[in-house]
Amino acid sequence: MYQTVTDEDVLEEYADHLISNYITILAIKLTNYWREFFPYSADAWMYSGLALSQKIGQEKNAEDTFKKAISLSPLEADYYLELGSFYESFEEYEESLNCYLDAASRIFNVPDIYYAIGIVYAKAASCTVLCFIPPQNDEIEIALKYNLTLTISSIQQFEHFQKKVRDYDHSIDFHLKVDTGMTRQGCTPDEAWEIAVAYRSLERIPLIMRGIYTHFSCDSNILFTQNQLNIFLNTTSKIQKLLGYFLIKHAANSGGALFIPESRLDMVRIGIVMYGAFSPIETQLLPFEQKPVMKLVSYISLIKFVAKGTAVSYHATWVAKEDTYVAIAIIGYADGFPRSASNHAFVSIRGKKYPQVGNVTMDQIVINIGMEHGISVGDEVVIFGNDLISVTDFAKWSSTISYECLTSVSERLSREED
């Protein structure tokens, strides 16, 4: 079903098709021909609640917290469910982008150029789109065409991009990524200096260094994060003196922006806090009320009697200790309900929690609803996102973190605004 889009003309044609037909999945997801251009009719779905963009503009305390920083909006790869998936039409997505812009977001960070093109096509011409993951050879021309801002993480990337961009008649902006302790993308401080020296020596500048950034690996560890910040600031200070101009500096994620004010610098990259999914400990420290913006739901397709001693689901990991009824909900590990949650998770039906029992299967789960339940076929089943079950609860039962739960919701599930 999947086919990678690499040809620029095909890519542009695909984006035009998405926009003209108002397909839910948005032009941001251009890397795949998904569902043969048609929305999937799913048996489980996700409610977005309030638009994330509106929350950042409406939360007065949040606005006060970030008033010294430019908000770098969290359209980050699959770190979080892509924003476009929340909307039923491209027009709604475009309206949301405008809300972000009105709330002082002037730079959007995305994983790669295909996500970035979605923002460009949404007519957000007044903003900069920064791509975290470097483009491949055949993608550089596309990045140039859409005036995207790239990330450079090594001297090899710098030299490669320099040679490739020379073939075109205009330059391209980039931000330099410095690895201060994450040990992922990014160059060492010494290599950052080497890149800056090489950049300064260019006679013709096909690449323009606009910014420099790093990423905190453990913002809950204040001392470790402070050390990362100090390394970063020392590096940027030297490079700015060498270049003779100021660079846009950014480092703080949600935790850094909230709890380490000096890390806000010129921009912040807030993510999980906008989804209302901070951990309980972090939530206690927040200067504003946390409200979840995502609810994952399914429905009951079947209710059946199960006698005492009857095994349920694959490998008989749960056996009824007494006569009971079970309900079958249409959602499974292919949808974002992980198998690791088997026999640990709870769901919410008609305002009451019920245990999920037996191994989670690809498309269905079994719920023990007891002998006197008052539940009917067709009833809504909340997986997470209401007062009874938070995404943090669900993550704990799944032996993971809320980030993974938010990003593991399958694209085959429909998106609706509550």
Residue 146 banded pLDDT, cuts 50, 70, 90: confident
285-317 burial, b at 16+ Cβ within 10 Å, e below that, comes to ebeeeeebbbbbbbbbeebeebeeeeebbeeee
Annotated binding residue 350: no
Task: For residues 255 and 308, state if they share a domain.
Answer: no
What backbone torsions phi and psi does residue 303 show, to the nearest 5 degrees? -125, 130
pLDDT confidence bin for 22, thresholds 50/70/90: very low
353 and 269, same structural domain? no
362 is an annotated ligand-binding site residue:
yes
Residue finishing a domain among 285, 311, 332: 285
Domain for residue 14, yes or no?
Answer: no
Q: Of 65-74, 106-115, 394-403, which range is least confident?
A: 65-74
Q: How far apart are CA 333 and CA 152, in angstroms?
A: 36
Domain shared by 62 and 193, yes or no? yes
Statement to judge: residues 240 and 388 lie in one domain: no
Residue where one domain finishes, among candidates 222, 256, 285? 285
If you average pLDDT over residues 8-22, what whole number do you get?
41
CA 312 – CA 353 distance, rounded (Å): 19
Q: Are residues 188 and 330 in the same domain?
A: no
Q: Hey, CA dihedral for 30, 35, 36, 41, is it positive or negative?
A: negative
- pLDDT tens-digit series, residues 115-125: 777 777 665 55
Look up the domain containing 140 and give its range: 48-285
Cα 109 off chain centre by: 10
The residue ranking higher by pLDDT, 17 or 323, is 323
Question: Is 28 a domain residue?
Answer: no
Q: Phi, psi (5° rounding) for residue 211? A: -150, 175
Residue 17 lies in a domain: no
Specify if 43 maps to a domain. no
Q: Answer yes or no: is 318 within a domain.
A: yes
- CA 37 distance to own-chain centroid: 23
**How many structural domains are present in the chain?**
2
Q: 18 in a domain, yes or no?
A: no
User: 231, 265, 285 — which closes off a domain?
Assistant: 285
Asked whether residue 120 falls in the same domain as residue 214, the answer is: yes
- Which tens digits make up the pLDDT trace of 43-82? 555 554 333 333 334 443 444 433 333 333 333 322 233 3
Domain membership flag for residue 183: yes
pTM for the structure as a whole: 0.77
CATH code for position 353: 2.40.37.10
